[in-house]
């Protein structure tokens, strides 16, 4: 039995792991795998390179395979199919204060301050003209109409919901405009959806109020569901089970009579199942894993392929869903082959879900890898939206499990009260967004948190070299130097002039030199080099090629490179056919390059958690790594293209500062260094401009890229570390018992 099998992993998976020569689970795997196998929601916070990917992939693969096997052998009893679902208001796809009466045709909310909405269990898609009637059965505020599954339950407050309210307003995307006339108690509103021409309109007590909304062609392709939102009000619905009170305009049919091929089940609902026999739905995967970058999604997908290779009859179908790849191929795979586990990036996942090509009705694992990164990239709403669409209890009666992981889940602690008001409020917003995610989306999650704070692995030696153009004047005599980013193109920069602009330009030149010096000093033949901007990456690549294209062979990885080039460049670096990978933060997280010995930060990231992720590209899987950060001692003027920059940096030469409506800022690296040190609670060792790292500092025996000699595994270390704590806990327990006994005996004696 392999060590992994002892943690509950199937022998078939154990065999694949064995072939990868993994002998023991890492700490995070030892703790995380049993928790996921046990059905819990888990938050995994562990250092970079500690094996988090396998900690969630292994148990997911196992459960997905066991479920498929159950389905194959007919053991599973229920799964959602569309034909048996009744047309009612959903008991699940609704706001917490919206009560749905037994039978599902009357809803009520007695909440006075907030709106609470709900949707029907079924909807329509494709073509045809459909209607349902909604009657106001009690005074209060109500809005009724149509929405897609992506819409907020608060109908009419996002682009996917189209409502008509009792105050005589229509609303979509929070735009409330006059429409028809007000309505109230006892009025009957007929809601009409014409999918042939994209028109939504309403009748009040049989009178036609005219077109309310014209749907875009894209919206017309979505599935629409009857929807309502109430504030202290009540409404009753007739989807066509009873004769309508008022006649329908020409060509409209009650929605309940929609042909079966046009009717769809509300996948948010999860209550649409009935007792039908089990069926695997090709485009309804059991697991969705979201990654923040294409490269990372590809890497996780490859790990899954490795782990699942001995799982047969049935085999697991996995699919990678990322941008930059032909969407038609992904759609065709979903339709014809199907997928049980999907790994993807947020944008493409959303496109496929919105287009109806990917449904979430059978999803039972929702994984956010590099969760803080996803939230920082602005995907909070998307994540919540997807979560809303997943059934909280799956068709075979299991609870949706959510797994959230990162090396920097502590990045949101608002430790620093000295930050500016603006930054503080940004940090707080992020914190709130994150907590909301934890509380709203997860169900009593277990924190697997091995350090209690963001930390750098012991296998990473990280040092800082200050770049001081006032002390090191060599920039004045450089015959050949790196092309700089051009922010000082309009400034009077020249040797002898000690202006901030001149010193800033000097730093840029010196950093090119220091980078080459670091490579030479440590005889680096493999390193990942992080620059702040895409143009900095391009300039460094050009400089390397200019000085010696063989000695400094390199490729770039950043957002302006075409997807196939990005892929090819990463592969070339992984295969060691080039020595250096120059990249922006697009590669900061998760990239796993076996035995990578060195990394260089040409500029520190302004986001302190990215420091942890960047340097974590080395020192992975118990191998040693050296990370060198070049830090300017003077302010450096740099590009900063925000939303205000129309081209987002492409051919932008607006060198004014942001305060003057420009696209530049002064970058204060010593401050970022101080922030990082405070966050990690360490003082990072500084080295001289010769970039030598004193060998006695790290016992001199370290070979970067290789495992430390005579080193025991991290897992064994962990046991040793825990031993004194366990001992003191057991002493505490026996002391407590003794105390209790003494008191008890005293009481007895007194009695």
Ligand X SMILES: Nc1ncnc2c1ncn2[C@@H]1O[C@H](COP(=O)(O)OP(=O)(O)OP(=O)(O)O)[C@@H](O)[C@H]1O
**What is the DSSP code string of 556-582?**
EESTTS-HHHHHHHHHHHHTTSSSEEE
Q: Which stretch binds ligand X (CB under 6 A): 340-348, 475-483, 490-498, 587-595?
A: 587-595
- Does 625 contact ligand X by CB under 6 A? no
d(CA 382, CA 193): 26
| Least separation in angstroms between CB 529 and ligand X | 17
CB of 270 within 8 A of CB of 325? no
Number of residues that bind ligand X (CB under 6 A): 20
Write each residue from 12 to 41 as x if it is in contact with ligand X (CB under 6 A), else as -, in one continuous string: ----------x-xxx--x------------
d(CA 183, CA 169): 10
d(CA 27, CA 54): 11
**What is the DSSP code string of 598-637?**
EEEESS--SSHHHHHHHHTTSS-TTB-EEEEEEEESS-EE
Closer CB to ligand X, 186 or 594, in the complex: 594
CA distances from 281 to 263, 266, 332 (A): 16, 15, 14
Closer CB to ligand X, 25 or 344, in the complex: 25
Tokens coding 150: 């992506």
Closer CB to ligand X, 59 or 166, in the complex: 59
User: Binding to ligand X (CB under 6 A): which residues in 647-706?
Assistant: none
Pick the binder of ligand X from 14, 31, 50, 170 (CB under 6 A). Answer: 50
d(CA 487, CA 509): 13
Q: Residue 121 gets which letter from DSSP?
A: S
| Least separation in angstroms between CB 237 and ligand X | 48
Pick the binder of ligand X from 620, 637, 641, 679 (CB under 6 A). Answer: 620
Helix 534-548 × helix 500-521 angle, to 10°: 50
| Least separation in angstroms between CB 703 and ligand X | 18
- Does 48 contact ligand X by CB under 6 A? yes
d(CA 54, CA 590): 12
3-state secondary structure of 100: strand
> C-alpha angle 227/233/239, rounded to 5°?
35
Closer CB to ligand X, 475 or 598, in the complex: 598
Pick the binder of ligand X from 173, 377, 594, 681 (CB under 6 A). Answer: 594
Closer CB to ligand X, 44 or 107, in the complex: 44
Among 622, 621, 602, which Cα is nearest to 702's? Answer: 622
Pick the binder of ligand X from 14, 117, 166, 616 (CB under 6 A). Answer: 616
- Does 207 contact ligand X by CB under 6 A? no
- Does 609 contact ligand X by CB under 6 A? no
**What is the DSSP code string of 456-480?**
--TTEEEEEEEE-TTT-GGGGG-SS
Closer CB to ligand X, 49 or 272, in the complex: 49
- Does 53 contact ligand X by CB under 6 A? yes
User: Binding to ligand X (CB under 6 A): which residues in 391-410?
Assistant: 407
Residue 1: count of CB within 10 angstroms of its CB: 7
Pick the binder of ligand X from 49, 145, 445, 597 (CB under 6 A). Answer: 49
Kindly tell me the burial class for residue 33, based on how many C-beta atoms sit within 10 Å of its own C-beta (0-12, 13-18, 19 or more). buried
Closer CB to ligand X, 292 or 512, in the complex: 292
| Least separation in angstroms between CB 64 and ligand X | 19
- Does 52 contact ligand X by CB under 6 A? yes
User: Binding to ligand X (CB under 6 A): which residues in 406-435?
Assistant: 407
Write each residue from 54 to 73 as x if it is in contact with ligand X (CB under 6 A), else as -, in one continuous string: x-------------------
Closer CB to ligand X, 686 or 721, in the complex: 721
- Does 592 contact ligand X by CB under 6 A? yes
Contacts with ligand X, residue ranges (CB under 6 A): 22, 24-26, 29, 46, 48-54, 407, 590, 592, 594, 616, 620-621
């Amino acid at each position: 039995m392999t060590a992994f099998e002892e943690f509950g992993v199937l022998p078939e998976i154990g065999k694949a792991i064995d072939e990868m020569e993994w002998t023991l689970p890492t700490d995070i795997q030892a703790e995380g795998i049993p928790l996921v196998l046990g059905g819990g929601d888990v938050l995994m916070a562990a250092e970079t390179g500690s094996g988090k990917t396998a900690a969630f992939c292994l148990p997911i693969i196992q459960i997905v395979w066991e479920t498929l096997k159950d389905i194959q052998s007919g053991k599973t009893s229920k799964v959602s199919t569309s034909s048996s679902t009744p047309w009612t208001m959903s008991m699940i796809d609704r706001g917490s204060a919206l009560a749905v009466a037994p039978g599902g045709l009357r809803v009520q909310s007695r909440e006075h301050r907030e709106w609470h909405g709900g949707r029907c269990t079924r909807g329509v898609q494709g073509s045809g003209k459909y209607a349902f009637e909604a009657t106001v059965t009690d005074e209060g505020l109500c809005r009724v109409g149509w929405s897609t599954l992506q819409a907020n339950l608060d109908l009419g407050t996002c682009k996917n919901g189209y409502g008509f309210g009792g105050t005589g307003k229509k609303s979509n995307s929070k735009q409330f405009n006059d429409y028809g006339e007000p309505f109230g108690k006892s009025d009957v509103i007929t809601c009409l959806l014409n999918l042939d021409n994209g028109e939504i309109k309403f009748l009040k007590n049989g009178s036609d109020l005219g077109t309310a909304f014209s749907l875009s062609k894209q919206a017309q392709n979505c599935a629409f569901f009857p929807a309502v939102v109430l504030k202290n009000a009540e409404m009753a619905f007739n989807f066509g089970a009873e004769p309508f009170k008022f006649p329908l305009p020409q060509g409209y049919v009650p929605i309940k009579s929609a042909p079966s091929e046009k009717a769809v089940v509300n996948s948010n609902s999860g209550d649409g199942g009935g007792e039908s026999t089990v069926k695997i739905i090709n485009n309804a995967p059991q697991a969705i894993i979201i990654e923040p970058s294409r490269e990372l999604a590809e890497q996780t997908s490859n790990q899954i392929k490795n782990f699942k290779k001995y799982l047969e009859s049935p085999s697991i179908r996995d699919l990678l869903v990322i941008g930059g790849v032909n969407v038609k191929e992904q759609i065709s795979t979903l339709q014809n082959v199907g997928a049980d586990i999907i790994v993807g990036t947020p944008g493409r996942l959303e496109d496929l879900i919105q287009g109806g090509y990917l449904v979430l009705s059978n999803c039972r694992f929702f994984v956010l890898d590099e969760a803080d990164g996803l939230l920082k990239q602005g995907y909070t709403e998307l994540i919540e939206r997807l979560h809303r669409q997943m059934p909280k209890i799956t068709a075979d009666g299991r609870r949706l499990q959510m797994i959230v992981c990162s090396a920097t889940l502590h990045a949101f602690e608002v430790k620093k009260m000295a930050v500016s008001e603006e930054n503080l409020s940004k940090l707080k917003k992020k914190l709130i967004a994150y907590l909301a995610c934890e509380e709203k989306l997860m169900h009593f999650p277990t924190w697997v948190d091995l350090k209690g704070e963001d930390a750098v692995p012991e296998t990473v030696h990280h040092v800082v070299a200050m770049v001081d153009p006032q002390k090191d004047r060599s920039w004045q005599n450089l015959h050949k130097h790196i092309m700089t980013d051009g922010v000082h193109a309009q400034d009077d920069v020249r040797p002898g002039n000690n202006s901030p602009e001149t010193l800033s330009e000097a730093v840029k030149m010196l950093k090119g030199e220091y980078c080459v010096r670091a490579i030479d000093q440590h005889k680096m033949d493999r390193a990942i080099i992080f620059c702040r901007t895409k143009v900095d990456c391009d300039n460094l690549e050009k400089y390397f090629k200019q000085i010696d294209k063989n000695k400094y062979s390199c490729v770039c990885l950043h957002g302006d490179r075409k997807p196939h080039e990005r892929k090819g460049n990463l592969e070339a670096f992984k295969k060691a056919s080039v020595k250096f990978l120059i990249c922006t933060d697009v590669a900061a997280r998760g990239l796993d390059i076996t035995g990578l010995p060195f990394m260089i930060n040409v500029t520190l990231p302004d986001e302190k958690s990215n420091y942890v992720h960047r340097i974590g590209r080395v020192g992975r899987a118990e191998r040693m790594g050296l990370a060198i950060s070049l830090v300017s001692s003077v302010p450096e003027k740099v590009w900063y293209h925000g939303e205000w920059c129309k081209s987002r940096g492409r051919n932008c030469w607006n060198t004014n500062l942001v305060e003057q409506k420009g696209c530049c800022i002064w970058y204060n690296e010593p401050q970022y260094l101080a922030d990082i040190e405070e966050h990690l609670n360490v003082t990072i060792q500084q080295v001289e401009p010769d970039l030598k790292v004193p060998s006695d500092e790290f016992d001199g025996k370290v070979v970067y890229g290789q495992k430390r000699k005579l080193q025991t595994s991290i897992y064994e270390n962990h046991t040793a570390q825990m031993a004194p704590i366990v001992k003191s806990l057991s002493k505490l327990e026996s002391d407590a018992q003794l105390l209790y006994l003494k008191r008890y005996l005293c009481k007895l004696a007194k009695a």
